Structure 1
């Protein structure tokens, strides 16, 4: 009973574990319907329950309990087996003395004898049955053989009958054969004859097979003869298409033989008339060759296309073979021309190339939908005849590419015509290109037209080659882009005199032209990058694309953009000089109270507004307007601080007035973007607001500390720490000097007294504030503010000129910022700013085919300014942010000061 108790406990434990873990991942109960999963079954498989019990690692926590049950169960079973075994031995021992055992042995022997007798009787019965059915089996085999013989004879009769009918049909129709009926009879003969291929050892069958082969050859010969008669118009047979199908049943060899014969026959005249050695085969007569073939193709489709199955594609194969013949002939002709004359005439080459391209386009259009009705072609792609003939011209494409230089040169001559020089996109254009959404407004039409020509040339060349000819073309395009910059954009830019002229019309015209050139240069720069990317994508192999570069022309356009921005900035900077003089001439010592913004500030805002309204509406890109505003803010703050420093000592009232003026100026600056379309993008930019606040913060803080009374001194020092936020005693001394607390003559005498007070208050301030509010070591703005030499006249910068003509120097603010005040001359307040430095020409690399077609050098042109050789501008992307633009402006102009070129060209006025 103990064993059954342990067994029941184990079963219960198994069932509990199965109930606990017997669900799969989806929550469904695992089926236990198999007999092998029943622990009472003789076929019980423990692995099933083991895998269910231990379906995951967490189930192993119960393994000790299960092992205990299993070991106990195993031990009890072992004892039970031993008990049963002893009982069985006892039964065997007792059976030896049992008298019934002998009787049982006798019965078994009788049973075995009966079995042997029955087996012998079964064998005798089987032999009897076999002897009785032997005749029946023989009759069955005979029936099968007779049936096979009758079937074979019947098929032989059908074959002979079909053969006789086919033979009679051929004899009867000697002139015009009905290939539809012949095809049906021949199909029957060939199908029946397949059955007798295993009977060729029989003479009669072998003879019949030879007759059928002979008849097949006769049909093939008749088909070819009928096609020849049809071609010579000596026979009209409407069933020739069935003859083609008959050839198709014989295999591809006969089909291809007929196709080759027909194509060679129909193109025989073309090969004879337009041979490379004949005059008709010259390049001059290439158009005649194409017209002649088009007539052949038209006649074929009218007369003979219907006699060929559609899946043969005879029209397509005829065109392909003609292209192959023509290509071979042209290759021979071009080789001969180049050997005899050393070069192919470019006009003839261009004519021939154009005609070839037109012919290929004609074929592509003709077979555009070819695959739609030809379902049996293995290749279901639309046939493409591009380069099927024209690639023979590829070795001679350099002649064509060089010729394009003449086309572009003529266009450049048209662009500098006064009647077209200032024409914008859309003006005077009546063709379908007049509305091009990809071209910017307020852009020279000549730039748009130049790139249209470039696209057309590139499109033509890309159809012919993907190799080195594209690289050669890129160098030519690059060269003429530089010439366009120099001859067109350079020429129309106004002299700086027109920007500061008293004539308002002259100023307006100057601004209009500068903005027009700026927008055009921007358009060209973007399009140049697209052109470079397009050419590189066309070149194969891709390694060759590294030789394509438009860096020189793109840098030229970028530098021209910078120069135009500086010209516009120079105009504003020059106009507001009157405001600085007004600020400087006002007697600030008489100021008793702050009643509103200063007079100079009203004048300053009025002038800036007038100039910005003229400029902003002409510039197409918000980024350039943003750059102008940033430069303007830096210039204004720099000049204001220069004038304030000159007014030392600064009283509290003066500081309050200047703080109010700065607040008014900041408000004014924030509304500048609203004067242009799309200015909301600038206003919504967090970087713009941050930039403005940062630039005004330093000078605003300086005004705040100047507004604080210097007595008592300890309170003033604490205010300095709170407002300025640094621990620099040198900066503190500058503030005292600006307030007039210290004079230069007593500076050294009182310096140590204030130093002791400063250190004492500094220690107290730091103790009262946490580590997060510690003072900076030095305020950068004050550190760079130089007030020791403001009362003296700074020497004039060498080479500086006050003349209204173009100076080679930049506006006073180019490349600087308000933090660099120590290097700025106070004299700039009294003297007008110098105009921006005109750049020197960028000359194309002579190794890249940069020489002009007429042999002249680009650098010898006498425009009023050219382009300058500056450090390489890495990418157009620098224009995407103000900081990068400023950085590149400073880099471009700061290190390139050269002697002024007195021989610059005079301003090119419209209409002259």
Structure 2
């Protein structure tokens, strides 16, 4: 067994050794070269593979021991194969040697052929050069003839055109001398076109002289036409001859160019406006503002005369009437500036506006006349500048429009003055004051009027004037008319009208601001801002709501007075709600139904209800000090009354409505929070002061602060004597000093003024009722009050209440942190 293992190891070592020797003898090629060789040879012989393994090959040929018997035959086949390969190698070597010699011979033969080709190419090139020289010699004379022909053609053309130019100039002079301007215009156009051809020939003396003569003739022709125009128009601008020759002369001027045409148009306009300058600049009296209408009447007559007699003279695309009006506007504007400056402080707004209105009407007439004027097709190219007559004259009035703004300021001031004392008609069914609608209607009309006069600085000054009087209207007219003190039904209605008016003004101001920005020039738009005025009317709304609350307070004040007259310290038992509660309800319902009907914006009515709850809670808490001393039974009766009042107040948002709905969650929270303060105070008063620990612990549980002044307020309300108060105060100080979770000052007692108890105030605490002296019936009533149902009793609640009383009496109930967190919430 051991010998077999050794033999196997030896055999394996021999094979490995043989494989290594074989691999060392094989010539290694790069992988890319081997791939290329395999593609070229395309053989399936495993020996030709680059990864040929002789051991595997032999094992494949001799798979077992039986194959060893034929090893001699295999050896012979291999030897035959080797001899065959050696023969192939010798043949390939021979062919390669013979092929190299033949290749060298072919290369030499190719070199000789290339040298022969170069020689032939050189010969061909030499012959081509000789041929080119020969052709140039042959065509030399032909080129000269061709150049001569071309120059001769140009010269003949130039001479013909020169002849035409000379002939045209001669004819032009004849036609111009005869004043045949229609033919003159045609010839002049031809002359100018021909003359442009000879611009490059000005170095030639004759051409230069001819060009100078054409320019000189144009000036003479221009002078002649201008003289014809001067002789045809009188000094007052009226035409003295027929229009046909002048119309033909305008055709000549049109060909001469834009500058000459402008000179003629300016001359015509000056001639027509000469009389105007003489009349209106010759005397200060005639040039006064009172005669402004005569200026516009004068130019209208001139335009009418132009349309009837002069329009046929000038080509339509010259727009002579438009230029004439533009120059008239320029002269008139300069005159009005001087006239207005001379007037100075003597200028009154009536005269100013009258003349400004006349000027604006005239400008609008010019805009209508020229905005839709038909123009020929060539007008887009040859027409003069289109003039804009908007504000062309009226701009001279703009620096003096401050008089107009001052006049509007005075008018609005007079309106506001009447509004301060304007009576309110009983027959007026409007929900807002009539003065507010009148004011904004006047604003709207003034905006339209002022925008016609100016949309620049004066218009911006008008915006500031509007803003000023809106502020005054809010502060003086609206807030100034809010009634004070005791109020009747009519006075409450007036407050509602003022509130609705402020709401109307607040919404209308935004529309006013948009309208002003729409009219005013772009540079002033960002300066217009009415946020302050809107804020002023919101302040009117807030003041009106406060006044409504105060007014209703005066209405139910008798009910609170009746509350203070009840013997709260001597009540023996708790009964039904007190009479003052019924009186309060009837008064409240009457007032709230009226206010709800008169306030148009329901959002403000909800705000009024919220403010009323805050005021009512404060009034009741203040009224508690007038009811002292309050016994435990009295406190219990008050709790019953307060619960009834709370029920009435929750009905406020829907009082007088046919389809009443439950109050909103927000309003319910406000009522619960406010009434909860009163209930907390009463529940604290309800607690007996004997033993002291019970009152102190209940105060800490409900009020939740360590403020001695607040604690003394409760003692005062209970009607305790001074020595009792001192003893309880000392024990409260000791108890509060040990509790770090207490607040410094609660706001529950804040409505009770300092003058009454010398106390500050502070947030409602968690409610509880503890009164061990209550009878069973009273306890049941109190329990039903807490559950919101006065007709049922809850025995389990009564049992809980008795247990709580026992804990307080034994001093075993301490205020926990969780209780404090609930109270703070």
TM-score (norm 1): 0.58
Residue pairs, 1:762-801, within 5 angstroms: 777=743, 780-782=746-748, 784=750
Residue pairs, 1:164-313, within 5 angstroms: 170=176, 174=180, 177=181, 179=182, 182-202=184-204, 205-206=207-208, 208-210=210-212, 212-213=214-215, 216-217=218-219, 219-221=221-223, 223-224=225-226, 227=229, 229=232, 232-237=238-243, 244=250, 246-275=252-281, 277-305=283-311, 307-313=313-319
Match of 1:637 in 2: 617
Residue 455 of structure 2 corresponds to residue 460 of structure 1: no
From 723, 727, 749, the counterpart of 1:749: 727
Residue 331 of structure 2 corresponds to residue 321 of structure 1: no
SS class of match (2:432): coil
1:189 deviates by 3.1
Residue deviations 1:738-769, cap 9 Å, x none?
99697654344356667788899x79xxxxxx
Residue 508 of structure 2 corresponds to residue 510 of structure 1: no
Match of 1:568 in 2: 548
The CA distance in 2 between the partners of 1:759 and 1:448, in whole Å, is: 67
Match of 2:359 in 1: 356
Count of aligned positions: 665
Residue deviations 1:203-253, cap 9 Å, x none?
654565455445544554565456553774344446966754653443321
The CA distance in 2 between the partners of 1:399 and 1:285, in whole Å, is: 20
Match of 2:640 in 1: 657
Specify whether residues 243 and 567 from structure 1 end up closer, same or farther in structure 2 by C-alpha distance, changes over 3 A only. Answer: same
Specify whether residues 582 and 260 from structure 1 end up closer, same or farther in structure 2 by C-alpha distance, changes over 3 A only. Answer: same
Residue deviations 1:639-693, cap 9 Å, x none?
3334456362234843651453254044224436x8699x99x977x76565444
1:261 deviates by 0.9
Cα pair 2:636 2:682 within 8 Å, conserved: no
Specify whether residues 408 and 676 from structure 1 end up closer, same or farther in structure 2 by C-alpha distance, changes over 3 A only. Answer: farther
Match of 1:584 in 2: 564
- Bigger Rg, structure 1 or 2: 2
Specify whether residues 776 and 168 from structure 1 end up closer, same or farther in structure 2 by C-alpha distance, changes over 3 A only. Answer: farther
Cα pair 1:443 1:516 within 8 Å, conserved: yes
Cα pair 2:456 2:524 within 8 Å, conserved: no
Cα pair 1:706 1:739 within 8 Å, conserved: yes
1:195 deviates by 1.6
1:456 deviates by 1.8
1:260 deviates by 0.4
Residue deviations 1:301-320, cap 9 Å, x none?
44434544454333332222
Cα pair 2:549 2:612 within 8 Å, conserved: yes
Cα pair 2:712 2:729 within 8 Å, conserved: no
Match of 1:49 in 2: none
Which 10-residue stretch deviates more, 623-632 or 469-478?
469-478
Q: Which has the higher contact order (CA 8 A, sep 6+)?
A: 1
The CA distance in 1 between the partners of 2:204 and 2:755, in whole Å, is: 131
The CA distance in 1 between the partners of 2:346 and 2:745, in whole Å, is: 75
Cα pair 2:250 2:314 within 8 Å, conserved: yes
SS class of match (1:784): coil
Specify whether residues 403 and 244 from structure 1 end up closer, same or farther in structure 2 by C-alpha distance, changes over 3 A only. Answer: same
The CA distance in 2 between the partners of 1:333 and 1:425, in whole Å, is: 54
SS class of match (1:280): coil
Specify whether residues 396 and 167 from structure 1 end up closer, same or farther in structure 2 by C-alpha distance, changes over 3 A only. Answer: same
1:787 deviates by 10
1:128 deviates by 1.9
Residue pairs, 1:122-161, within 5 angstroms: 122-156=128-162, 158-159=164-165
1:566 deviates by 4.5
From 420, 435, 443, the counterpart of 2:433: 443
Specify whether residues 333 and 594 from structure 1 end up closer, same or farther in structure 2 by C-alpha distance, changes over 3 A only. Answer: same
Cα pair 1:290 1:359 within 8 Å, conserved: yes
Residue deviations 1:436-470, cap 9 Å, x none?
xxxx9512337734772696279538945845x67
SS class of match (2:650): helix
Match of 2:396 in 1: 392
1:271 deviates by 1.0
Which 10-residue stretch deviates more, 602-611 or 241-250?
241-250
Specify whether residues 169 and 3 from structure 1 end up closer, same or farther in structure 2 by C-alpha distance, changes over 3 A only. Answer: farther
Residue 651 of structure 2 corresponds to residue 668 of structure 1: yes
Cα pair 2:650 2:671 within 8 Å, conserved: no
1:325 deviates by 0.9
Specify whether residues 485 and 108 from structure 1 end up closer, same or farther in structure 2 by C-alpha distance, changes over 3 A only. Answer: closer
The CA distance in 2 between the partners of 1:258 and 1:817, in whole Å, is: 95
SS class of match (2:438): helix
Gaps of 5+ in 2: 1-27, 37-96, 765-825
1:284 deviates by 1.7
Cα pair 1:276 1:333 within 8 Å, conserved: no
Residue pairs, 1:549-568, within 5 angstroms: 564-568=544-548
From 695, 698, 709, the counterpart of 2:677: 698
The CA distance in 1 between the partners of 2:539 and 2:263, in whole Å, is: 69
Specify whether residues 121 and 627 from structure 1 end up closer, same or farther in structure 2 by C-alpha distance, changes over 3 A only. Answer: closer
Specify whether residues 779 and 462 from structure 1 end up closer, same or farther in structure 2 by C-alpha distance, changes over 3 A only. Answer: farther
Cα pair 2:631 2:686 within 8 Å, conserved: no
The CA distance in 2 between the partners of 1:609 and 1:379, in whole Å, is: 82
Specify whether residues 236 and 409 from structure 1 end up closer, same or farther in structure 2 by C-alpha distance, changes over 3 A only. Answer: same
Residue 380 of structure 2 corresponds to residue 376 of structure 1: yes
1:130 deviates by 2.1
The CA distance in 1 between the partners of 2:267 and 2:683, in whole Å, is: 103
The CA distance in 2 between the partners of 1:662 and 1:491, in whole Å, is: 34
The CA distance in 2 between the partners of 1:134 and 1:247, in whole Å, is: 55
The CA distance in 2 between the partners of 1:382 and 1:613, in whole Å, is: 69
Gaps of 5+ in 1: 10-90, 428-439, 500-506, 764-774, 795-815, 821-912
SS class of match (2:239): coil
The CA distance in 2 between the partners of 1:426 and 1:198, in whole Å, is: 94
Residue 587 of structure 2 corresponds to residue 607 of structure 1: yes
Specify whether residues 170 and 733 from structure 1 end up closer, same or farther in structure 2 by C-alpha distance, changes over 3 A only. Answer: closer
Match of 2:630 in 1: 648
1:264 deviates by 1.0
1:300 deviates by 2.4
SS class of match (2:286): helix
The CA distance in 2 between the partners of 1:817 and 1:369, in whole Å, is: 81
* Cα-Cα RMSD: 5.8
